[in-house]
Structure 1
Amino acid sequence: MIRVLENEFYYLDNFQRVIDWIGERYADLLDEDERAFLAAFPALPRNARALFVRMVMRKGNLFRASKLSYAEIGCPVEAADQLLGTGWIEADPALTLDELFDLLSKPEIAEAFGGQLRARSARKAEQLEALREQCAGMRPFSQWYGACDDLALRILVKPLCDRLRLIFFGNLHQDWTEFVLSDLGLFRYEQVEFSADSRGFRQRRDVEHYLQLHACKERFAAGEDIDAVVEDLPWHAFDNDWLDSRREKLLFQVGQHYEKQKDWDKAHGVYVRCRFPGARGRAIRVLEKHERFDQAYALLQAAQAAPESEAERQHLSRIGPRLARRLGHAKLAPRARQAVARIDLCLPLPNEDWWVEGVVRDHLAAEAAPVYYVENALANSLFGLLCWRAVFAAIPGAFFHPFHRGPADLYSLDFHQRRAAEFAACLAELEDGRYRDTIRRHYEEKSGISTPFVYWDALTPELLELALACIPPLHLRRWCERILADVKTNRTGFPDLIQFWPAEGRYTMIEVKGPGDRLQDNQLRWIEYCAAHDMPVAVCYLQWEQAA
């Protein structure tokens, strides 16, 4: 049930909670301004602190006092007066014309500029352009609009507050709403024990590296000249693993950009310096496109000797024969594929709203053999429920604030290795039958808690019980082992449907392909894995009778 927040200063308490948390855990890496802020903020009157936090949590850095009217704060001008001595805000700040237009309504613009406006009916943007030449420079708000008795305020320390938010969350995409959504019960998070080592940033340069990387990422996303962005990119590896993974991902995206531009040399130069999964395969592909076949083949052979993942092995198996043919090498024998059951259906085109997987599900379903659309939901959920305590183990650096959906190192190469004992204990329950009680208990106790694996909306009690009754523990172990081998890649690609025969205690997974559709790479890998380990899987090819 969603609760109503009774504390009218909830946002102030949340802000104080953050700075207390930072003061306790990160004091050694704060700069002088940040330490001074943490010391001075609690000493201010409550209404002044509340007004400041309201400004911090709102968009932008310019406000009108009349728009900061909150019952619990009282007069915003009086609250602002108590903040002026801190240097954190400025009253009646100097504004550009653009900033002024952001604060004023269209009738107020007409009053402020009077005869200077030639067409009062023009759109606000048109009025702004018409006034630019004669209204250049900056002036205090009161000089721009002397007839207004409102007070303009500018908050000067938004960057400092953003740094504090960054230090707390370890990212800039989470914000103050996390507290409210959690307090209201809209989001729930697992309670993990935090130790002194539970810090996202271990030294000040981690914070600076994050901000540098974030600035480059923002410029790249905004379409700024790519070469200018690359000049400012940090090419050296960070000694913070989760932070360095963000750097590697951005490098990979830059390489993709160059590749799309057909700038093969620059794309290759980025890829060979990047350790992000798939970068080596893209480097080979770029060399091939650039017709540097000898270099491409040499890198291909090195990759084939030690592939980084199943995905890379699959990618190399496609490139290898082409390169060998280009270089006149002997034709490579095709890789043997596992035989997979096939279902061919030819059905009438439905009249009502439909989706391909739903049509096949309803056609195959029988009272004694129900069919569910599960895709990635079922296998991941069973894994997440069985291995809950391993996923949320209090590994140093994995959790460093109360709002983690999953561990910070979820996609790192050593995610499994760092928790090997915990995962081994979870999977051991598959040997003696304890896993069923564990999964059921976690399903009841943890219901609704944010997790990277469990699909709470899709996993009904009926589906869960059928899965526990019909899927052998050995098959569940195989699923878990493959997910752990490459969490990022192997969480997807599961077949669309699963059919159960409860009376016989068996099941079949079914991938559905409509007319003209084909199997994706991650689907092929899962289907071949299941077939190789004698797990029942089939591919259903649907055609419509009208097109037959």
Structure 2
Amino acid sequence: MAHFPVTANPLDDPFYYLNNFMQVLDWLQHRYADVLSVEEQRFIDAFNGLPRESRALLVRMVMRKGIHFRCSKLHYVEIGDIASAAEPLVALGWVDEQLPLSVEEVFELLLKAEIVECLGSAIEQPKGKKLDWLPALIEQFPESRSFAQWCPSLNERLFSLTIMGLCDRLRLMFFGNLYQDWSEFVLADLGIFTYEKVEFCADSRGLRSREDVDACMFLHQYQQHFEAGVAVVEVVEQINGLTLSNPWLQRRRDKLLFQIAQHCERMADFSMALALYRQCAYPGSRQRLIRVLERCGEYELALALATQAEQSPQSAAEQQQLLRMLPRLRRKLGGPPVKRPSAREMVRLELQLPRTDPEMSVEFYVQGHLAQASAPVHYVENSLINSLFGLLCWPAIFAPLPGAFFHPFQRGPVDLLNEDFHERRADLFKACLAELDDGRYLSTIRRRYSEKWGVQSPFVFWNVLSDELLELALDCLPAEHLKHWFNRLLLDIKANRAGMPDLIQFWPEQKTYRMIEVKGPGDRLQDNQLRWLEFCHEHCMPIAVCYVQWAEQGA
């Protein structure tokens, strides 16, 4: 089993951050030796040969924001003399003291008084706001210079990292993404986040080749370009030019194309949106394609695609949308009006409550109004059912399947939202849910609640769960109902782990319960909530919708 060593308190060592960084390098050499480039391997070898203080300084800078650091602003007791620690880094070219800076870059590094001292001759009103000076400075200083040339009077050294891109690639290989950073180690060391220890098999790598690493960095770069407003045509052309053999990266590209298509749809660039939705395999693309065809007046094409989708809907959400689209499309093509099925009658609670605190949500008002000593009410929304599912099915969720876990800081498997997530673990989930048939689930959930407390999970809401809530749920929720809920979750985790009712009320003496969806003035039921309500009615689960109006004060 591959995992990092655990010490009593890693933060007792002042070089804890360096130890963490070196553990990452060891991990990468052990698991990604065939993927590392010559440059990355040389960096690791050279890094390991540096004095400890120099290694520590480099890691400190890598973990901070930006790439430019004034020597006078770097103070670390454990490192000591910063200038001495920097010398080997400068010699290797990992830190550059002569890097040309634009006036915008040097502007960010200087205090207001320093800008006046170094660039004051170009500022007409030196007593104005700092940001007001920048446009004039940009106009007068189009060239780049070193920090020493910009600010000779400061007698200050500036260290600029030249290897941040390399360190980002190492971070990408370790985490499998670029949204997690080195602070994950500190949060884990502090006990703020605790992660399940998963055995890593030989195939547990998200990036299987050098081409995968380069492609992932490329996708990240063009996602940033898209978010920065670069022309969509250019971004799409570059993304489509990628040749990918890694299913994980293919899904990432599809997700990015879907996001770009949604943007084009919002901007009324329907031709580009149609082209992207047609080529994109990301869930929801077909549904959006039909909608855009309808908006473009292509009713026959939209109807043909919707009719095809009706035969094999990709999800309950798509099926729900098709029930609305098909009658509308047929009507637009001259077909007879189709009477929509009447909405199922729901148990309604009508409440008129005084609003004493405008900052408090409507759900808490209803909770306080309905709660009784013999019938407590908890505000759970999606947290309770998901948590019970996560505790019971923990072994299946954290099964060490190839391509599921890449590193020790994962909240859940990478393929959690993939269409084959359940299929790949079918036998494991079957064994977990079988405990609902013979009562074993009660002791299993209680034991895992105790043993796994605080361990990160994509399903368990530790901030909501409590001993009281757990016991009420296990006493009052029938195993048959839990099984229905859990099976529905597994049908479509992304869609079905949301939309559950806001409140749950328990009657411990009768060992029963009631779920309550709360709607304040003007609110209406959302699609995913309607699907949950229909599901609960189908399986005879007690559920009500509570509509609240605010009582006029003093009435």
Shorter-chain TM band: over 0.9
- Contact 1:338 / 1:532 at 8 angstroms: preserved in 2? no
Secondary structure of the equivalent of 2:447? helix
Cα 1:503–1:221 change in 2 (3 A) is same
Offset, 1:113: 4.1
Of residues 235, 257, 273, the one that matches 2:279 is 273
User: 1:207 maps to what in 2?
Assistant: 213
Cα 1:295–1:29 change in 2 (3 A) is same
Of residues 238, 242, 245, the one that matches 2:244 is 238
Of residues 394, 397, 412, the one that matches 2:400 is 394
Match status 1:194 vs 2:213? no
Match status 1:163 vs 2:169? yes
Secondary structure of the equivalent of 1:5? helix
User: 2:426 maps to what in 1?
Assistant: 420
Of residues 148, 151, 155, the one that matches 2:157 is 151
- Contact 2:384 / 2:465 at 8 angstroms: preserved in 1? yes
Secondary structure of the equivalent of 2:514? strand
Match status 1:85 vs 2:94? no
User: 2:489 maps to what in 1?
Assistant: 483
Of residues 454, 470, 479, the one that matches 2:476 is 470
Q: CA RMSD in A?
A: 2.1
- Contact 1:92 / 1:151 at 8 angstroms: preserved in 2? no
- Contact 1:345 / 1:542 at 8 angstroms: preserved in 2? yes
Q: For residues 370 and 95 of structure 1, what CA distance do their matches in structure 2 show? A: 64
Q: For residues 235 and 138 of structure 1, what CA distance do their matches in structure 2 show? A: 34
Secondary structure of the equivalent of 2:421? coil
User: 1:522 maps to what in 2?
Assistant: 528
Secondary structure of the equivalent of 1:83? helix
2:298 alignment partner AA = R
Match status 1:71 vs 2:77? yes
Secondary structure of the equivalent of 2:153? coil
Of residues 534, 542, 545, the one that matches 2:548 is 542
Offset, 1:385: 0.6
Q: For residues 398 and 18 of structure 1, what CA distance do their matches in structure 2 show? A: 19
Match status 1:439 vs 2:445? yes
Match status 1:304 vs 2:317? no
Q: Which moved more, 1:336-345 or 1:27-36?
A: 336-345
Cα 1:344–1:106 change in 2 (3 A) is closer
Q: For residues 333 and 474 of structure 1, what CA distance do their matches in structure 2 show? A: 35
Offset, 1:139: 2.9
User: 2:66 maps to what in 1?
Assistant: 60
Offset, 1:116: 5.3
2:540 alignment partner AA = D
Match status 1:317 vs 2:311? no
Secondary structure of the equivalent of 1:22? helix
Structure 1-normalised TM-score? 0.95
- Contact 1:188 / 1:448 at 8 angstroms: preserved in 2? yes
Match status 1:376 vs 2:382? yes
Q: For residues 493 and 329 of structure 1, what CA distance do their matches in structure 2 show? A: 34
Cα 1:109–1:390 change in 2 (3 A) is same
Secondary structure of the equivalent of 1:354? coil
Q: For residues 371 and 343 of structure 2, what CA distance do their matches in structure 1 show? A: 29
Of residues 272, 294, 317, the one that matches 1:288 is 294
User: 2:4 maps to what in 1?
Assistant: none
Of residues 504, 522, 525, the one that matches 1:498 is 504
Identity of matched residues, % = 52
User: 1:410 maps to what in 2?
Assistant: 416
Of residues 507, 515, 526, the one that matches 1:509 is 515
Q: Which moved more, 1:153-162 or 1:98-107?
A: 98-107
Q: For residues 494 and 247 of structure 1, what CA distance do their matches in structure 2 show? A: 31
Offset, 1:143: 2.8
Of residues 240, 263, 266, the one that matches 2:269 is 263
Q: For residues 230 and 394 of structure 1, what CA distance do their matches in structure 2 show? A: 35
Q: For residues 183 and 177 of structure 1, what CA distance do their matches in structure 2 show? A: 10
User: 2:5 maps to what in 1?
Assistant: none
Offset, 1:23: 0.8
Match status 1:357 vs 2:363? yes
Of residues 15, 21, 39, the one that matches 2:21 is 15
2:297 alignment partner AA = E
Offset, 1:512: 1.3
Show structure 2 runs of 5+ residues with no match: 1-7
1:238 alignment partner AA = L
Q: For residues 352 and 254 of structure 1, what CA distance do their matches in structure 2 show? A: 39
2:197 alignment partner AA = Q
Secondary structure of the equivalent of 1:24? helix
Q: Which moved more, 1:310-319 or 1:205-214?
A: 205-214
- Contact 1:430 / 1:477 at 8 angstroms: preserved in 2? yes
2:219 alignment partner AA = L
Deviations 1:35-81 (A, max 9, x none): 11112110111111111111111111111211222111111111111
Deviations 1:124-151 (A, max 9, x none): 3344444445544233333332233321
Offset, 1:245: 2.1
Offset, 1:339: 4.1
Cα 1:500–1:409 change in 2 (3 A) is same
Q: For residues 311 and 531 of structure 1, what CA distance do their matches in structure 2 show? A: 18
Q: For residues 84 and 232 of structure 1, what CA distance do their matches in structure 2 show? A: 36
User: 1:216 maps to what in 2?
Assistant: 222
Deviations 1:79-102 (A, max 9, x none): 111222212111243333233222
Deviations 1:201-251 (A, max 9, x none): 111222122112112211222223322322222366733233222221211
